[in-house]
Amino acid sequence: MAKTIIPIGPFHPLQEEPEYFSLTVEGETVVDVDVELGYNHRGIEKLSESKTYDQVPFVVERICGICSTSHPYAYVKAVEDISGCTIPERAEYIRTIIAEGERIHSHLLWLGLAGHFLGYNTVYMWVWKLREEILDVMEILSGNRNNYAMFKPGGVRRDIREEDIPFVIKKIDSIVKTLDMLKKAILDDPVLHARLKGIGILKREDAIDYSALGPTSRASGVAKDVRKDAPYGAYDKVEWKMIVTEKGDVFDKVVVRVLEVFESISIMKSCLLSLPKGPIDANLADIVPGEGIGVHEAPRGETFHYVRSDGSNRPTRHKVRAPTFMNLPTCKSTVIGAAIADAAIILASIDPCYCCTERLAVCRIDGKRMMNGGELIRLSVEKTEKLKKEMGRR
Amino acid sequence: MSITLNALLKSPWVFHLSSGSCNNCDIEVLDCLTPRFDVERFGIKLAGSIRHADVLLVTGSCNRKSSARIRKIYEDHVPRPCVVVAIGECSLSRGLFIDSYNCPLPLDRIIPVNVYIPGCPPKPEAIIAGVVKLIQRLKASV
């Protein structure tokens, strides 16, 4: 049968970010998938080399608006790894509270968008209405709905006021009630079962081979979570359990995310109730030469930051690896063989975040290298030099 | 008042174009459509295709790859009359990314912009206020 290529994107209403998918189909079946990125590349790693250690959290916060806690968290952990300092306990708790609040809003956001992709706009509207409540909580705690600016190397920038805590706890309790209703409505819906069960299966072996991270791997039965494997913050001081399911289809990914929201709420609540007193900033001295890594379990999986210092006030190298970078290739094993109608939800089921993943590539078209102005000048200078040599001139 | 402009003022359909943003502004745009803010009561609706849109909501610091596409979309694909709303600090002035090697021009040097909504990200209230101001200005101009 003849193959057809269906282009999706780069600017399309399906997802909010620009990215280009080409689906090769035979009849109704997808036989190949390819993704082209680069519409979001802003050169963050290079940019952060021009900022001081205290300014970089604001840069990495804007890698991705949904993970605006994960990147600063991993970055400050990398810087603290270089300097080897211990940060105050209260700061650890506040960091955990903010990180879990972000996980709740990110999972709810994904759940709403998944409903939208399936044509269940009711789910989209209900869940996003609920998401506003957690954004209110974050606004009270940090002063902003999305970019929290709470993190700094050595501690946090803003304390949680004692008088806010009862209101916040009341608010997140009210979320649990609505979410319980939603959970029953979503997970017991026969249409959603028919639509999501058994499609886009990521097998356990594939999840390991592709090094899938976060809910994508946990839905396939790979119990991998930085918060449990290498506890940091207050994650080893409060009770919570890792959600792992076995089948690896899209439905399981929904289940993992919905149940994780409940866990996050319970972590957030117990952190707020047992918030220790004390300072919130270790007042980090100058950063010594060296290198450090920081990992944080973002809503989509493990975020990895590497920072190298030469003793000055700016990082000399800052490397970011976002979870979608590892999760996106799993589409090769999940989408191929599926029907076109299922492709949208399978591609979305890893909760992709392309602005985290953006890389820059110098590409060749038809085997010819594309050149910029500087390279043309270099070639011109080289030719002159060569001619000079040939003609015996200096 | 021409009939097209009259229809546009009653119910502006928006298309949301991300030109290399961090997602925050895009999510706040989507937030405007959900129950708490619900801009559909003003007739504002998210259009599925660029060819149905009256208003372009552009977010993000236009990078080298997307700016050529944005110019093409604006010049070839959008039906006229079309108004352009720049949302967020990045599309206004490139904000934090002004020193980046991949963000050469702000949005208003690529396509003409009618309304600027500052903020990183602007709150949904600010976006709604911006669109309302746009409608008022269009009404005054005719």
Q: What is the pLDDT of residue B20?
A: 82
Q: What is the pLDDT of residue A381?
A: 82
The residue-averaged pLDDT of B89-114 equals: 87
With CB atoms and an 8 Å threshold, state whether A146 touches B28: yes
Neighbours of A272 (CB within 10 A): 20
Q: What is the pLDDT of residue A292?
A: 92
Q: What is the pLDDT of residue B44?
A: 85
b/e per residue, A235-251, with b = 16+ CB within 10 A?
Answer: bebbebeebbbebbbbb
Residue carrying structure tokens 């174009």: B17
Q: Where are the alpha helices (DSSP H) in A201-276?
A: 204-209, 214-218, 226-229, 250-273
Contacts of A129 in chain B (CB under 8 A): 34-36
With CB atoms and an 8 Å threshold, state whether B18 touches A43: no
- For chain A positions 305-364, those within 8 Å of chain B (CB to CB) are 353, 355, 360
Residue carrying structure tokens 């997970």: A187
Task: Give all domains of chain B, ordered by start, each with its CATH number.
Answer: 3-141 (3.40.50.12280)
- Report chain B's terminal Cα–Cα distance, integer Å: 6
Please tell me the distance in Å from A13's CA to the nearest CA on chain B: 6
* Nearest neighbour of B66 by CB, restricted to A39, A125, A129: A39
b/e per residue, A114-125, with b = 16+ CB within 10 A?
Answer: bbbbbebeebbb
With CB atoms and an 8 Å threshold, state whether A42 touches B97: yes
Comparing A8 with B55, the larger pLDDT belongs to: B55
Of B65, B43, B55, B64, nearest to B17 by C-alpha is: B55
Q: What percent of chain B has pLDDT over 70?
A: 99
Q: Does A171 touch chain B (CB under 8 A)?
A: no
Ordered by start, the domain boundaries in chain A are 42-316
Distances from the Cα of A133 to the Cα of A145, A234, A245, B6, B128, angstroms: 11, 24, 28, 37, 20
State the ipTM, two decimals.
0.89
Q: How far apart are CA A305 and CA B137, in angstroms?
A: 47
Q: What is the pLDDT of residue A75?
A: 93
Residue carrying structure tokens 């990495």: A60
- The ranges of chain A with pLDDT < 70 are 1, 13-15, 359-376, 393-394
Of A169, A172, A170, A164, nearest to A130 by C-alpha is: A172
Contacts of A17 in chain B (CB under 8 A): 18, 21, 23, 26
* The pair of three-digit structure tokens given for residue B25, joined into one six-digit string: 């502004």
Q: What is the pLDDT of residue A6?
A: 83
Q: What is the pLDDT of residue A274?
A: 92
Q: What is the pLDDT of residue A15?
A: 67
Cβ atoms of residues A144 and A171 within 8 Å: no
CATH number of A42-316: 1.10.645.10
Size of interface A-B (CB pairs under 8 A): 119
